[in-house]
Structure 1
Amino acid sequence: MNYSAIEERIPLANDQLLIDLANSIHTNQSLIAYRANRGFWGRLLDSLTGRTYQQDTLLAQNLTRGQEALLSITNELIEKLQFNEYALVTTQHSLRETRECLVATQHSLRETREGLNHNTQALNSLLNSLIETCDRKFQEQEKRIATLERRVTAREDFDRIFSLWRSGQSYHDLPWAIQILFLAREIYNSSIAYLELEQQVTYYRDLLVNEILAHQRHDLPKHFFSTATLLKVTRQATAQEDTEIVYDILASCRYSDSYPLLHNMSTLYCQQQPSFVPQHPPYTLDAKEVIQRIVHETAAATLHSLQSLKSKE
């Protein structure tokens, strides 16, 4: 069995061999010292027995030096082995610390990732809330802007249409009732009707009535009259060349009996001989009431038509 097998089987053999090597070195050194100190009789005995003193001494010294060198090499190997074992222990300790650091780092990274995920969710929630708030604010601002634009446009339309009529550029030379009917219809065919429909603003009805009364206060009748009288006077005051166009416009209106004054004006006016004229009609109308009824009925009829169109879309 070789030494490697012995060392693997019995680890203490290493230490025993080192002890035996050191003991043999001490023994050889003692023998060399003994031979060197035997004196004359010892050397005489060696010459009689045929042994050479110098050769034996030289061989013994060489053997001792070899053993000492072997011991020195062995000690160095042991020291290196011990150093390597210490280095391995230190490395193992460092690796353990490194592993613990890696575990701690992994745990810290996990916590950091969880924190980032939580912060990301919170940030997304905040961003969504901000986006919703901004959208709501933008929609409110857009609605306000649209409302303002609608009101500005309505005012511009009213001023433009009324100024043309006031200056005599539109509906001039027509009877005053026909002028007011056509003027109210034109105004409520503009953006004013959409303003009333969307924002329930009825301001322009009273404004139109007041503006008409202020402009024509000297030309309007000052007495009470009946509806039949109003239609008769209106037909008589219509110029021959305007009769056909007035007839066509009124016939195209076709107001229902839900708007009584407009219905009568659009139907009875077109009849040269009305089918029904009361013998003693009540004289309860005045110019202001006629203007108010024409304006309010025109506005209501126009809004009803717009609502019907929107419901069909």
Structure 2
Amino acid sequence: MDFIIGGLAASAASIFSNPFDVLKTRMQLQGELKAKGHHAVFYKNAAHAAYVVAKNEGIRGLQKGLGAAIIMHSVRNSVRLGSYTLLQKKGYLTDSEGRTILYKSFIASAVTGAAGAFFGSPLFLIKTQLQSQAAHQIAVGHQHHHKGVIAAVREIYGAHGIKGLWRGVSGTILRAVIGSSAQLTSFAVTKDLLREYESMKDNPLMVSIVASFVSGIFQTVMITPFDLVSTRLYNQGVDGLGRGLLYDGILDCFQKTWKAEGYFGFYKGIGPNYMRLAPHGALCLVFWDVLKDFQAKYLN
């Protein structure tokens, strides 16, 4: 049940966060491996990007890749949150007074995040490629021209087999280790701190909401460079042998991005990334807490 709860919480949250994921993906691919001022700028900021996408692709353009996103978040978080909850219930992550032990939570969230990322990697690959597909006049990055999730699976598997579906998995695992450890640890620690205030002791929902937005800040700052690298590894074109046309792997992507775009190149799309992570994390973690409370009261 813990694994089902984690998957349901993330699936519900992804419906609201997916438009920001689309905007983030487009902005991360804009000006790929090109210095500032040497590429077309279709998306100036999150609000402008939303306007441009809606104008050229309609409102539905803001929900590209939604099907893949829902399934991907369900798979990733059923593993991640389900495993983390199991460790929490066993008492491995807290002291004798029930307070979170920082280093144990950090390790557990990193490991469970990596596991979830591995299993959800094929859908993350497809989601990224579907979200990057744009009208010709505002297209950035490699365009894969998939007609949908099932068609994408067939095309990728038919061309490169199982290995092709897990292409770029190392990038998303590193991303997940950083993001999950930052999110779940800061969420747990912030909840512990908030519970010390009398006004918060009898308001668990507010504690979860505040803690989730705080964790979103930590997560966004930590994850954005790794998220950008993961996006580019997933979206790049490949040759007949399934090898990337732009990058050989994580380190190569970091080096080439640094050389061409500098430090701030790694933080492209940080605005919509926070707008995606904060509400998604808030909704996901709040749904997670609410569903856990419901389970404890009525299903045990």
Q: Which has the higher contact order (CA 8 A, sep 6+)?
A: 2
- The structure with the largest alpha-carbon Rg is 1
For Structure 1 versus Structure 2, the TM-score category normalised by the shorter chain is under 0.3
Taking structure 2 as the reference length, the TM-score comes to 0.23
